[in-house]
Structure 1
Amino acid sequence: MTDTGNLISRNAVFARDRFRAGLRINPSGNLTVVGCVDPRVDPSHVLGLSLGEAAVIRNVGGRITPATLRTMGMLGKVGQAHQDSRVPGDWNLVILHHTDCGMTDLAAFPEMLAEYFEIAPVELDTKSVSDPFGSVRADVDVVKQDIPGGPGFLVSGLVYDVSSGLVETVVPATPLG
């Protein structure tokens, strides 16, 4: 078991060897990643991200739910409040799903899933719960419908294979708006 004493020790090594003072609140990579809470699929590790490079939102399945959209809206306001720390260039939203996701186990609980997505149970087929390739396409579509983009805002969908460690592009970076 990993206990808090072990975590404090690891943190001391981090603070000594890898901590970077002066990072800004806006990601240096103009990047937000939405990914799953599965411990095998930490987006920062899987995508080789550096500290401060991306905002990472993790939830069950890495799904774009109404709660995720609200979180992104709040993050957008924080980013606007710190506009001086924003790096010029396109803003990228990456949706990262993965194979062998526990979300597929939840297909047996349609009422729970419907509540999670804030939809009626009869609409669950549109969420492709058991197919990471279909689900990432569905979530990119939700973003394209629900987030006002405009020039300089991109969304893409990736699937990580937990067997090979490789990421596949399912939806290439597409402009919003």
Structure 2
Amino acid sequence: MTATANYLAANKAFSASRPANQLPLPPSKQVLVLTCMDARILPEAALGLKEGEAHVVRNAGGRAPEALRSIVISQQLLATKEILVIQHTDCGMVTFTTDQARGLIAKNLNLSADSTGRKTLDQLEFLEFPEVENNVKADVEFLKKSELVDTNNITGYVYDVKSGALKQVA
């Protein structure tokens, strides 16, 4: 059985035992959490979040520039007031550069230099970073400089994947 088949079976059991969801659309705590897609991070568990309390936006590295569209929608259309930027120790984003990623992907996919795929890949920014704490600070600063974001309550943290502890750095 594939992982997807297992997840669909689990969802069937989940939805059968679940009462009808009557939660409002905006998150009740007016919070947005931006974090990495790393499977070792469970933001709901790490922060004690319950269903309906916060928006959780995840992408590779927990990068603010990539998440800007979701953050603007969350704040401007769904009334969130706080942003927690959470990146983490042992992040794969510190292990490569955009040029290295492009080269590896082009090789893996056997993309020719003049293919549409290669042209798209060459425009893709991987938003890698060499050091996590400084990157959290830079992403918090990026959001605070944005005219599209309510900058009153943005904080930044590094999540330790071994201990589960958060360290505020911005």
Alignment TM-score, normalising by the size of structure 2 = 0.74
Q: Compared with structure 1, are the counterparts of its residues 111 and 165 closer, same or farther at alpha carbon in structure 2 (3 Å cutoff)?
A: closer
Contact 2:75 2:149 in 1 (8 A): no
Whichever of the two has the greater Rg, that structure is: 2
Aligned to 2:82: 92
Aligned to 2:150: 149
Aligned to 2:112: none
Contact 2:31 2:82 in 1 (8 A): yes
The reply to whether residue 63 of structure 1 matches residue 53 of structure 2 is: no
Alignment TM-score, normalising by the size of structure 1 = 0.72
Deviating 4+ runs (over 4 angstroms): 16-20, 110-114
**In 2, Cα distance between the equivalents of 1:78 and 1:108?**
33
Q: Compared with structure 1, are the counterparts of its residues 110 and 8 closer, same or farther at alpha carbon in structure 2 (3 Å cutoff)?
A: closer
RMSD, matched Cα: 2.7
Whichever residue aligns with residue 97 of structure 1, its letter is: Q
Q: Indicate the SS of the match to 1:52.
A: coil
Deviates more, 1:1-10 or 1:46-55: 1-10
**In 1, Cα distance between the equivalents of 2:149 and 2:58?**
22
Whichever residue aligns with residue 56 of structure 1, its letter is: V
Give the CA deviation at 1:7.
1.1
Aligned to 1:42: 42
Contact 2:35 2:63 in 1 (8 A): yes
**In 2, Cα distance between the equivalents of 1:154 and 1:170?**
14
Aligned to 1:7: 7
Give the CA deviation at 1:98.
0.2
Q: Indicate the SS of the match to 2:95.
A: helix
Whichever residue aligns with residue 63 of structure 2, its letter is: R
**Aligned residues between the structures:** 149
Aligned to 2:25: 25
Q: Compared with structure 1, are the counterparts of its residues 40 and 94 closer, same or farther at alpha carbon in structure 2 (3 Å cutoff)?
A: same
**In 2, Cα distance between the equivalents of 1:91 and 1:76?**
6
**In 1, Cα distance between the equivalents of 2:125 and 2:6?**
37
How high is the sequence identity, in percent, across the aligned residues? Answer: 33
Q: What 5-or-longer segments of structure 1 have no aligned partner? A: 80-85, 118-126, 172-177
Whichever residue aligns with residue 116 of structure 1, its letter is: F
* Bigger strand fraction: 1
**In 2, Cα distance between the equivalents of 1:64 and 1:162?**
20
Whichever residue aligns with residue 7 of structure 2, its letter is: L
Aligned to 2:97: 107
**In 2, Cα distance between the equivalents of 1:170 and 1:131?**
13
Aligned to 2:126: 116
